[in-house]
Amino acid sequence: MLSKLKTSLVLTVIGLLSGLSIWGINELTAPIIAENQAAEELGIFIELFPEGIRVDQEAVEDGTINQITTVYDGDDQAIGTVLRGTANGYGGEMTVLVGVAPNGEIVDVIIGDNSETANIVGGLIEEYLPNLNGQPISEVSYDAETGATLSYNAVQTVVNASRNLVAGDPLIELLEDLGLSGTYEETTLFVPATNAYTLSAGGEMLELTLDSGTLYVLFDGLTVYGAGGSADPLIVDAINAIQGASIETLELDHPDRTQIIRAVADTVATEPMEGEFIFASRPYVVDGETLGTTYLGTSIGFRDDNTFAMSFLETGELARIENIVLSDTPDYYRDNVEPGFEGLYGLTEFSEVFANDVFAGATGTGASVTDILKEAAILAGGDQ
């Protein structure tokens, strides 16, 4: 008993002394470390605006942007603004600095503290971030394919939040232009490659990334309220011309027409379900013909939840697997999981295929597909 007491006492004393010494050194070094970080950031501001000699910093509580720094030149004229924000990437919180010139052009986007995979951040810095430089922040558009979804998403979140602070929120402006008041909230409407919002005034809004830019479509059911964004004005005008009518009446000789109609129709037709993995379904429509049912499901993969849309023909055969949300490494998914889908199409019975480990070497991500597919196959009438 005494020896146990002695052991606890010794460990307590060691722990206390350790904590005290770390606290003391932290008290000593914390202000110096903060000064170093401030000096490092000042270096970035001056690098962005080389004529700057003085900065004025303001703390912001925006949720994403936490600091706005205005850089002044020798004549005390503001020559630029740097917005610092944080958003979640693949490895956790990521700091991004956005430099904006007085004319509203993006000067540079810099990735600060982050825990992302080094070569993915390197790829973003070399290949994708330079594309943002020189763009007007009010109409910024992004590369659709970056191969680094989560890290690039974090950059987009901070750049969008910067845009909202510098140039005003384009979604609110769009709503006002269309005579709608109120706010919007991000929602999950199960549509691939889009962001979706529900409007406090009623109805929904989809943000579609098209080759020509971003398109916002406002609708309630299939009825269109209007459209806006940086996409081809021909598309925006064509949608605005059918306000009050069904999206299916859209007269537009443009390759994006099908994608726009399908995105809205998919959102409207989606019915919630309460399965173990399957949470919604919608008709599987090809060229206007309903051929079966698409099941939407979510299951945990290697890192977090993955969401897939699995389409089955009325006869129970698997016709298509589409990824909607991917939390795992995109390259890994593309190289090890996606190639396995081809072998599954046309099947109604999957147990033998799964026994042969169709997603070899991609355990976590592959398992999330298997979970959803097993449940979807039963719902589609096939035998899992």
Partner 1 sequence: MNEKLNLMKEFTKGIVSENPIFVMLLGMCPALAVTATLETSLGMGLLVIFVLTLSNVLISSVRKFIPENVTIPAFIVVIATFVTIVRMLTQAYAPALFDALGIYIPLIVVNCIILGRATAFASKNKVLPSLIDGLGMAIGFTLAISLIGILREIFGTGAIAYGVYLPLGIQGSILNIDSPLFNIAILTGPAGGFLILAVLLAFFNSRKIKKAEKLKAERKRLAKEKRAAKAKEVTA
How far, in Å, CA of 248 to CA of 266, rounded?
A: 12
Instruction: Pick the piece of the chain touching partner 1 (CB under 8 A) from 4-12, 73-81, 242-250, 375-383.
Output: 4-12
32 in contact with partner 1 (CB under 8 A): yes
29 in contact with partner 1 (CB under 8 A): yes
38 in contact with partner 1 (CB under 8 A): no
Pull the structure tokens for residue 145.
């394919």
Instruction: Pick the piece of the chain touching partner 1 (CB under 8 A) from 29-37, 52-60, 102-110, 343-351.
Output: 29-37
14 in contact with partner 1 (CB under 8 A): yes
Count of residues that interact with partner 1, criterion CB under 8 A: 19
Pull the structure tokens for residue 322.
């589409």
11 in contact with partner 1 (CB under 8 A): yes
The label of the residue with tokens 């013909």 reads: 289
104 in the Ramachandran plot: left (φ > 0), alpha (ψ -120 to 50) or beta? left
Contact 59, 67 (CB under 8 A): yes
How far, in Å, CA of 373 to CA of 348, rounded?
A: 11
10 in contact with partner 1 (CB under 8 A): yes
Alpha helix (H) ranges present in 169-316? 170-177, 233-240, 257-269
Instruction: Pick the piece of the chain touching partner 1 (CB under 8 A) from 9-17, 93-101, 191-199, 247-255.
Output: 9-17
Minimum CB–partner distance for residue 81 and partner 1 (Å): 26
Minimum CB–partner distance for residue 173 and partner 1 (Å): 41
CA dihedral 313→316→322→323, nearest 10 degrees, is 150
Q: Single out the residue of 228, 80, 67 nearest to residue 161, CA to CA.
A: 67
25 in contact with partner 1 (CB under 8 A): yes
How far, in Å, CA of 137 to CA of 104, rounded?
A: 6
Minimum CB–partner distance for residue 17 and partner 1 (Å): 8
Minimum CB–partner distance for residue 34 and partner 1 (Å): 10
- Residues within the interface to partner 1 (CB under 8 A): 3, 6-7, 10-11, 14-15, 17-18, 21-22, 25-26, 28-29, 32-33, 36, 40
